[in-house]
């Protein structure tokens, strides 16, 4: 019984292009760059600024508590001092359904939206942000609901088992529409303009910012807060931000048809069978629990988290087991990143670079660190950075190509630093911010050092995730405030904000800041 279905990468790309009318003649005619926005808040000339970060937040209330809302409330005192919020993906669990935006996004972040006084009337596809929220799509924002579940047939055994359970899986009646709900919520959904003159009028009104790559979308807080594409860039106070869609370059190659490949296939097939059996056991055991009992409510939360975790592991296995497939990689997006990074390094006005996307190339969270998707994203990002380094040569003067990389997907807060990897992703700081509302996970038992062929490639300096057992279990949910300091080369002061659920109570705290300055 599958709970989620991950669409093919080619379908994700094609449908997202249709939604923004990628390279429509009217867009080309106006020399519009559909991958860029200008944040028109009147403060981009300040050399020092602050921004917030959250990720993997999109769940509803847990049993008796709401972690996402608690993290949002931690952010509120920083609202007026911050210029925008980045979201590292998985805006809506479990399958990105439009009917869950009100409960799982609008209500938790209501103070950040126009219409706070009557937020329950805000439609998910009509949101306007007072404080810019600039997301990237996560895997759950693309997931669809398998046909079996969408039909909701009460005559099928798996469905009857699921309905008898006490798990609140936030599934809804339909899935994301291969990212359609996310696109309607956040992107400038140009596909909606059908009448003659509508598109031209819209482009002339909102694509008025002038840049060195052409006209682009003018993002106006409190008035017009749409994104131009699923991946995009913007410059703020001399820092170039690159937002990527890693869902379209995370497809691992199929297992080779060799003796070793066949052995690996059998192991993966066995793991998949075991996971399916574990899901059935979770559903059966959950039906015996009483959500009104606090300790059993916590058990239901754990079962809920485990089900989602298993689904993601099955998706990763299915990507590897797929036979007779052609591995699809979003070459256009990766080449775009390469060219924009080269241009950024050749622009004397740019003093720093931040990349953010969903799937972390480096992480020590127990379920993600060795997934096939993790490793292939690492490989493909390396390919881009290696090509950039070769092109720009000594321009970096010893600095890493990127000051900071922000990711989600792993349900934790983590700071890692790459060592000498033998590639251009060496000596970069990586921060995983994926613990902002959905159930947390533990660090791997293997420890903080990540190895490749007996070579130390990365080390984890901080890990904040689930720990303890039973009544002593700790669930520290998190978000970030990042302060950018200095007139020249930027210094990033990262302030972790923690809301910990422990013994049925909330305990808020702020950890010691992490200071990143690349010399």
In this prediction, residue 152 carries a pLDDT of 47
- Is the model's pLDDT at 312 over the cut of 90? no
Contact 78, 128 (CB under 8 A): no
CA 208/CA 212 separation, integer angstroms: 13
Contact 350, 239 (CB under 8 A): yes
In this prediction, residue 1 carries a pLDDT of 60
In this prediction, residue 167 carries a pLDDT of 65
> What does the pLDDT look like over 157-211, one tens digit per residue?
444 445 455 566 666 677 899 999 999 999 999 999 989 899 999 999 999 999 9
- Is the model's pLDDT at 3 over the cut of 90? no
In this prediction, residue 482 carries a pLDDT of 98
Percent of the chain with pLDDT over 70: 93
1-10, 206-215, 332-341: least confidently modelled range: 1-10
CB atoms within 10 A of CB 204: 12
| 303: DSSP letter | H
pTM score, whole prediction: 0.95
Q: What DSSP string runs through 150-162?
A: HHT-TTSHHHHHH
Percent of the chain with pLDDT over 90: 74
CATH classification number, 9-253+323-517, choose in 3.60.21.10, 3.50.50.60, 3.40.50.11030, 3.40.80.10: 3.60.21.10
E strands present in 401-490: 404-407, 413-418, 429-433, 449-452, 455-464, 474-485
- Asked if residue 94 has a cis previous peptide bond (ω within 30° of 0), the answer is yes
Calculate the alpha carbon distances from 192 to 21, 24, 111, 189 in Å. 10, 13, 28, 6
> What does the pLDDT look like over 388-397, one tens digit per residue?
999 999 999 9
Calculate the alpha carbon distances from 265 to 150, 376, 377 in Å. 30, 18, 21
In this prediction, residue 488 carries a pLDDT of 87
Contact 311, 144 (CB under 8 A): no
Secondary structure class of 294 (helix, strand, coil):
helix
In this prediction, residue 358 carries a pLDDT of 98
> What does the pLDDT look like over 480-510, one tens digit per residue?
999 999 988 999 999 999 999 998 899 999 9
> What does the pLDDT look like over 260-295, one tens digit per residue?
888 999 999 999 999 999 988 988 888 888 877 877
CA 58/CA 254 separation, integer angstroms: 31
Contact 365, 442 (CB under 8 A): yes
Instruction: Tell which wins on pLDDT, 428 or 318.
Output: 428
Q: Confidence band (pLDDT; 50, 70, 90) for 151? A: very low
Sorted by where each begins, the domain ranges of the chain are: 9-253+323-517
In this prediction, residue 288 carries a pLDDT of 83
Instruction: Tell which wins on pLDDT, 4 or 89.
Output: 89
Longest dimension (CA), the chain: 67
Question: What is the pLDDT averaged over residues 77-95?
Answer: 95
CA 408/CA 58 separation, integer angstroms: 12
Pairing between strand 404-407 and 352-356?
parallel
CB atoms within 10 A of CB 504: 12
In this prediction, residue 153 carries a pLDDT of 37
The two tokens of residue 226 are 């749409």
CA 89/CA 245 separation, integer angstroms: 9
């Amino acid at each position: 019984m599958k709970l989620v279905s991950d669409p093919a990468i080619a379908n994700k790309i094609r449908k997202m292009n249709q939604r923004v009318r990628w390279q429509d003649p009217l867009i080309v005619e106006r020399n519009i760059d559909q991958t860029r926005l200008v944040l028109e808040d009147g403060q981009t000339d300040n050399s020092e600024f602050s921004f917030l970060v959250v990720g993997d937040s999109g769940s509803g209330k847990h049993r008796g508590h709401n972690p996402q809302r608690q993290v949002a409330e931690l952010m509120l005192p920083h609202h007026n001092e911050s210029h925008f919020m980045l979201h590292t993906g998985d805006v809506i669990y479990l399958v990105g359904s439009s009917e869950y935006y009100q409960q799982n996004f609008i209500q938790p972040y209501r103070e950040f939206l126009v219409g706070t006084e009557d937020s329950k009337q805000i439609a998910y596809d009509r949101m306007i942000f007072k404080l810019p929220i600039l997301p990237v799509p996560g895997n759950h924002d693309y997931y669809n609901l398998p046909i079996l579940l969408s039909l909701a047939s009460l005559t099928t055994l798996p469905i009857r088992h699921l309905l008898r359970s006490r798990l609140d899986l936030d599934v809804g009646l339909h899935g994301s529409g291969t990212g359609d709900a996310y696109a309607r919520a956040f992107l400038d959904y140009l596909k909606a303009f059908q009448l003659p003159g509508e598109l031209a009028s819209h482009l002339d009104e909102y694509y008025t910012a002038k840049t060195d790559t052409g006209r682009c979308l003018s993002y106006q807080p409190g008035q017009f807060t749409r994104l131009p594409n699923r991946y995009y860039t913007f410059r703020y106070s001399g820092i170039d931000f690159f937002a990527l869609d890693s869902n379209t370059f995370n497809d691992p190659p199929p297992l080779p048809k060799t003796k070793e490949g066949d052995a690996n296939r059998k192991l993966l097939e066995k793991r998949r069978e075991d996971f399916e059996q574990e899901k059935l056991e979770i559903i059966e055991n959950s039906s015996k629990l009483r959500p009104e009992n606090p300790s059993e409510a916590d058990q239901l939360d754990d079962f809920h988290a485990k089900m989602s975790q298993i689904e993601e592991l099955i998706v990763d296995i299915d990507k590897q087991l797929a036979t007779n497939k052609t591995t699809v990689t979003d070459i256009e997006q990766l080449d775009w990143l390469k060219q924009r990074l080269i241009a950024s390094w050749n622009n004397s006005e740019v003093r720093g670079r931040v990349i953010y996307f969903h799937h972390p190339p480096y992480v020590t969270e127990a379920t993600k660190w060795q997934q096939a998707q993790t490793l292939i994203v690492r490989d493909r990002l390396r390919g881009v950075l290696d090509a950039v380094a070769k092109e720009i040569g000594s321009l970096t003067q010893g600095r890493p190509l990127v000051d900071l990389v922000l990711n989600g997907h792993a349900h934790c807060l983590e700071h890692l630093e790459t060592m000498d990897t033998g590639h251009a992703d060496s000596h970069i700081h990586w921060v995983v911010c994926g613990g902002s509302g959905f159930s947390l996970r533990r660090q791997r038992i293997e420890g903080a050092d990540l190895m490749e062929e007996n070579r130390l490639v990365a080390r984890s300096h901080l890990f904040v995730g689930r720990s303890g057992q039973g009544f002593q279990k700790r669930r520290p949910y998190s978000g970030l405030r990042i302060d950018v300091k200095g007139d020249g080369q930027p210094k990033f002061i990262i302030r972790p904000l923690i809301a910990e659920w422990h013994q049925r109570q909330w305990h808020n705290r702020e950890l010691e800041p992490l200071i990143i300055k690349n010399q």
